[in-house]
Amino acid sequence: MRFLLVMLGGAVGAPLRYLIDRTVQAHHDTTFPWGTFAANVTGSMILGILTGAALSEAVSQNVQLLVGTGLCGALTTYSTFSYETLSLVEAGARFLAVVNVVASVIAGLGAVFIGLTLAQAAFS
């Protein structure tokens, strides 16, 4: 059963990541990977909210597997982030590569913190 929950979440998260990436990137005519950035920050926010809800015992372990491991695991992507950062370096856009790393880490951690704080306030 747990395996199926992770699969179901992943089956939603992977196409969602693709749709977010394509939609966001279509609105930005730049080499900066805004689509991956948006997908990763969105997934971080969802995971923060889920973590806050889990710490408040407002969600079951099954929901954590479905949304956290499955959906967020497929929605967020370290490999694409790494590849796009390397591609920026190889294209000579070293400044954008550094911005991508720093902004992604700060925005991702910030999104988790905000999501966690919101969930704890809502479920406390």
**Cβ proximity of 25 and 86 under 8 Å:** no
The encoded tokens of residue 22 equal 């394509």
pLDDT digits (tens, 9 = 90+) for 67-93: 999 999 999 999 999 999 999 999 999
3-state class percentages of the chain: helix first, strand second, coil last, to nearest 5:
85, 0, 15
**Cβ proximity of 112 and 44 under 8 Å:** yes
Residues 6 or more apart whose Cβ sits within 8 Å of residue 92: none
pLDDT digits (tens, 9 = 90+) for 15-72: 999 999 999 999 998 999 999 999 999 999 999 999 999 999 999 999 999 999 999 9
Q: Is 42 annotated as a binding residue?
A: no
pLDDT class of 124 with cuts at 50, 70, 90: confident
Q: Is 73 annotated as a binding residue?
A: yes
Give the mean pLDDT of 86-112. 98
What is the pTM (predicted TM-score) of this model?
A: 0.94
